[in-house]
Chains A and B, each alone.
Chain A
Amino acid sequence: MLNYTIRRLLSVIPVMLVVSIIVFLLVHLTPGNPAFIILGEDASPEAIAQLEEQLGLNEPLYIQFFDWLKQVITGDLGTSVYSAQPVTELIFANFGPTFSLMVLSLLFILIISIPIAILIVSLRKTILDPLFTNVSLLGVSVPEFWLAILLVLAFGVTFPVFPVAGYMPLADGFGAWLYHLLLPAFVLALVEIGIIARMLRDSMLDSVNQDYTKTARAKGVRERDVLMKHVFANALIPTTTVLGATVAGLLGGTVIIETLFTIPGIGQLLIDSIHRRDYPVIQGVVLFIAAIYVLVNLVVDLLYAFLDPRIRYD
């Protein structure tokens, strides 16, 4: 396990290097001079020259990259062109709502998708199973933002039970925090619920007729216990691998959900910065999200190797 852990930890380095090259190049993809774009058409040549100097745009590209990388490694993501605040500060100030939203969504996903999968597998010989397959396909075909609009219409306007915008920090009380996040977290979770439930069902069906389940049934173990102790427990292992992809989906989805529900998270920060052409913030947020995703995948892989020893010797 130690050997595998070290190998897996080291593999993060090349990935993060490629990630930082991509993020660095983002600014240099902009057609024309970034300083000119940031300052707008009315900027004086002096101001442009000064910003070019400040951003280091006069140096060769690879020197700019290594200078930038050195800063990033020390935790300095630059300063916002719009608010003059350090980007790291902005990210941490906005991370709370995003984190709350994601944790609550993950909770929804687990609470809803596990019982669904177990129910579908225990009723696999009925019409419910093919029906579920189609419904889960429908789930991945619905645009999140459209679903959000419809739910806002239903539960915010027609039957006003939930607030349709805003965010309350946890410090203002658990009830207020939860109340404001329920609807957005549910929308965010909905697409992923279909994916996870489908994944669980598929791997449970794979082990329903395995020899060890047959043996359990032959011993006279009740079908319910066979499903829970043998089938479900084994299906959980492959399902952990898609958890990384789930987090990616949630991270992408928060951008849309935060914008729609005006939640002041890093997704909203990203969209605002795109409209303001605030490139240091765009770079910082994108790099931060990619780093989280790489970290989550690392944890998932280590967890998987821990749960399934065969992986370690692959």
Chain B
Amino acid sequence: MMSKKRNMIALTIFLLIALATITANWWLPVSPTAMDANQRLLAPSGTHWFGTDDFGRDIFARVVVAARVSLAVGVIVAIIATVIGTLIGLISGYFRKTDFILMRIVDGFLAFPALLLALALVAALGGSITNIVIALTIAFFPVMSRVVRSAVLQINNAQYIEAARTTGTRDLVILLKYILPNVLSPIIVQSTFIFAKAILAEAALSFLGVGVNPSTPTWGNMLQESQIYITIAPWFSIFPGIAIVITVLSLNILGDGLRDAFDPHSLKRKRKRKPKQTAPAA
């Protein structure tokens, strides 16, 4: 019960963040781009909840607006990486002849730490939002294809698949109608984790100065900008970081919760353990 409540809280917080940043233009009392030379690096107060930055801009407004790029990059990367990874996983799990080649290519991509691969790709492609999405997609699709492939392998020899094959059902129909629905749960769980990792990676790239154009407010860019003011204006560094942590944490809790919900093994384990926990008291 407790973890169910936790998942609902995480989902609510995540949706609130998304809603807040999408509708920001209508409700933000101050503009995130309004500069004021007299209001530089002010500490948090009633007028500026999170303080102001080195240009006298309201940090709260900027943190809210910055969520747009961060969330958009995260969700787009999660969707594209999921589609590509699922396709490769389905093909290599189902058509065994393609498996060797496809998995060696995937292994090649997996041989790079994800952040490093993204970094190198952005360095080569240049740091626009589109290129960051491309780089992060390339960095994250291999894990998805591995997950999908192993899920497909587990049900490949199930009787209903065999039955479909012997009755002459076309491969495409088998894949889409019988296999895909049965491997959907690990795909959903993994895509939630990719969403979370992409947000962290985008922030890291921007922070390293190879990410989104510095003039666009993103959480990573704000942290990069704030670094030199850390001793005189710590709030400038603290609030964008908290925004990242809350967003990524809520996604990770959701992914964790979904995994438990989908995984019959973990359900069984919990049921098995429960009577044991109460046994000594009885």
Q: Which residues of A contact B (CB under 8 A)?
A: 14-19, 21-23, 26-27, 29-31, 125, 130, 133-134, 137-138, 140-146, 149-150, 152-153, 157, 205-206, 209, 248-249, 251-253, 255-256, 259, 270-271, 274-275, 282, 286, 289-290, 293-294, 297
B208 part of interface (Cβ distance < 8 Å) = yes
> Do the beta carbons of B223 and A14 come within 8 Å of each other?
no
What CA separation (Å) do A30 and B123 show in the bound complex? Answer: 8
A-B contact pairs, 24 of them (CB 8 A): A14-B107, A15-B107, A17-B108, A23-B120, A26-B120, A26-B124, A27-B124, A31-B125, A130-B2, A130-B3, A138-B249, A140-B252, A146-B223, A146-B244, A153-B230, A251-B116, A255-B115, A271-B210, A286-B120, A289-B112, A289-B113, A290-B111, A293-B112, A293-B113
- Provide the bound-state CA to CA distance between A27 and B114, in Å: 18
Query: Closest A-chain residue to B116, C-beta based?
Result: A252
Contact B126 A143 (CB under 8 A): no
Interface class of chain B by DSSP: helix
Question: Which B residues are within 8 Å of any A CB, using their own CB?
Answer: 2-3, 6, 104-105, 107-109, 111-117, 119-121, 123-126, 196, 200, 203-204, 207-210, 223, 227, 230-231, 234, 237-238, 241, 244-245, 248-249, 251-253, 256, 269, 272-273, 276-277
**Residue ID in chain A nearest B197 by CB atoms:** A140
Say which residue of A31, A152, A206, A209 sits within 8 Å of B230 (CB atoms). A152
A29 and B116 in contact (CB under 8 A), knowing A18-B105, A134-B6? no
Q: Is chain A's binding surface mostly helix, strand, loop or mixed?
A: helix
Q: Do the beta carbons of A15 and B241 come within 8 Å of each other? A: no
CB atoms of A256 and B121 under 8 A apart: no
Residue of A nearest to B114 (CB): A252
Known A19-B108, A143-B245, A253-B115; further 4 A-B contacts with Cβ < 8 A: A141-B251, A149-B223, A275-B209, A286-B116
The answer to whether residues A141 and B210 also contact, given A17-B108, A157-B230, A256-B204 and a CB cut-off of 8 A, is no
Which of A130, A143, A205 touches B241 (beta carbons < 8 Å)?
Answer: A143
CB within 8 Å for A209 and B241 given contacts A18-B108, A137-B252, A290-B111: no
Contacts of B252 in A (CB 8 A): 137, 140-141
Chain A residue, CB-CB nearest to B210: A274
Cα A30 to Cα B237 with chains together (Å): 33
Q: Is the CB of B230 within 8 A of A29?
A: no
Q: Contacts A30-B124, A248-B113, A251-B116 hold; do A271 and B241 have CB atoms under 8 A apart?
A: no
Q: Which residues of A contact B126 (CB under 8 A)?
A: 30-31
Contacts of B256 in A (CB 8 A): 133, 137
Q: Name the residue of chain A whose CB is nearest to the CB of B100.
A: A14
What B residues does A271 contact at CB under 8 A? 208-210
CB-based contact A289/B249 at 8 Å: no
The answer to whether B230 touches A145 (Cβ under 8 A) is no
Q: How far is the CA of A130 from the CA of B5 in the complex (A)?
A: 13
B residues in contact with A31, CB < 8 Å = 125-126
Q: A141 contacts which chain B residues (CB < 8 A)? A: 196, 200, 245, 248-249, 251-252
The 10 tightest CB contacts between A and B, nearest first, are A18-B108, A252-B113, A146-B241, A252-B115, A141-B249, A141-B248, A274-B123, A29-B124, A248-B113, A14-B104
Known: A146-B241, A153-B231. A29 touches B204 (CB 8 A): no
- A155 CB to closest chain B CB, in angstroms? 13
Residue in A closest to B251 when the chains form the complex, CB atoms: A141
Q: Which residue of B lies closest to A245 (CB)?
A: B113
> Cβ of A149 and Cβ of B112 under 8 Å apart?
no
* Candidates B116, B207, B238; contact of A150 at CB < 8 Å: B238
| Nearest neighbor of A251 in chain B, beta-carbon distance | B113
